Structure 1
Amino acid sequence: LTAKLHATSRQIRMRDELEQAKLTLVELNEQLRHKSLHDELTGLGNRRGFDERLEDYVAQARRDQRPLTVLLCDVDFFKRYNDRLGHIEGDACLRHIGDILKQVCRRPLDYAARYGGEEFVLLLPNTPAEGALTFALALQHAMDRDGRYHPDSAVASHVTLSGGFVSVIPDGGTTAESLVRQADEALYEAKARGRYRFVNLSACMDTGDLSTAPRILNSASRVA
């Protein structure tokens, strides 16, 4: 009888250990997946995480027939920043920008990722072009208020961003790749116009146009 009790106790202990091992494995897999989808330096999403999220958001916006904004931006004259202050300060700058992006992405479904190097990308669901411009201006103002010193920028004494964005209600021909391409083209145009601005080519919007930006900032609102 004693041997039988010991055997039963051992079986229960082994079962409990097996269940605990399963839970540990699940937790480890979740941690690995989280790590695979996030940028280690900034804590934002990474390129892989963005690609997955964008596909989901495009499909959802197409089903709901709601606007989706993709905003691509990078740090103005970041190579000069690194050259003057060093890569440790450069990494600190990128982490700090990541923190600012987390602050301005206030809605639960807003998503920010480090796209690569000094380039960042944001997904703003349920956000038309006017609301996206309001967001871009708010981001620009947040960077201005922060005022992180840039020793060798041609546009300001502090770190600034240039960005391009596209806002669409996806149809059958809209792809994730086409949205990124349009945002990238707008980013290129923002740089060509002198940097330190956000541009939407299809909607003819430019935060550097002081005659329209304040008016739009006061009148536009993002869709909740």
Structure 2
Amino acid sequence: MDAKRHSCAAVWPLLLLAMCIGVCRAHVALTFPPARQPAWDFLDSGRTPPPCGVPKGSLKTSILSGSTFNVTWHLGYPHRGGYRIQVLDASEKPILDLTNGGQQNKSSVFVEGDPTALSYLVQLPKDLECRDCTIRLIRQASEWGKNYMFWSCADVDIIPRPEYRETCSGHGKDIAGRCRCNPLYSGHRCQYRDECSEDKDCGRHGKCVNLEATTYPKKQCFCEMGWFGPQCNKHSCCRHFRMT
């Protein structure tokens, strides 16, 4: 029994440290289109290579040419400065700025005024077709330097309507041009997932809590002491909270 109590007591500092690291290092990462893997949120201009910080991966999102949609991202805390969204071609060179109305010849500007912004409505040109391309979010952090910024990239195929097939991100069905999402999924393409929608999704030993977070899952299961797991269905040795 003493050994179990000792092991449980040792776990709590590690859990608190993990939570602190998550908070202290949380900055910017795309949530739709989903960011490249690994989807780190501390890809900055000071320590990672342009244009994206990480190379292209296998995760790719198909987007309809001419479509209008919200680019969304996670933001750990509000930095000074603004943000900008671009389309990069297959060679990762900027070809379109989506935060200036999609005009190629207009000078790029950062959108400012709301340091807590988590989304921006963009419209792709109807004649834009771009395979193996990238949508890049650039977020200034002017408090750390005039040219300091974070970036996050999503690999995409921008496809004309005759070739486009809506998959609803694999989490729903396309019915009359709109996605009907499976349970726990939401978004116009069923791209977001919560852990729960009500208490019963958390089993007999948990409650569904809406954290009002900046990224999904926003609704998460919180388990009673002594229980853990996706549906609070696993026993834990830590049945009493005690810091030593």
- TM-score, length-scaled by structure 1: 0.29
Question: Relative to total residues, which structure has the larger strand share, 1 or 2?
Answer: 2
Q: Which has the higher contact order (CA 8 A, sep 6+)?
A: 1
Choose 1 or 2 for highest CA Rg.
Answer: 1
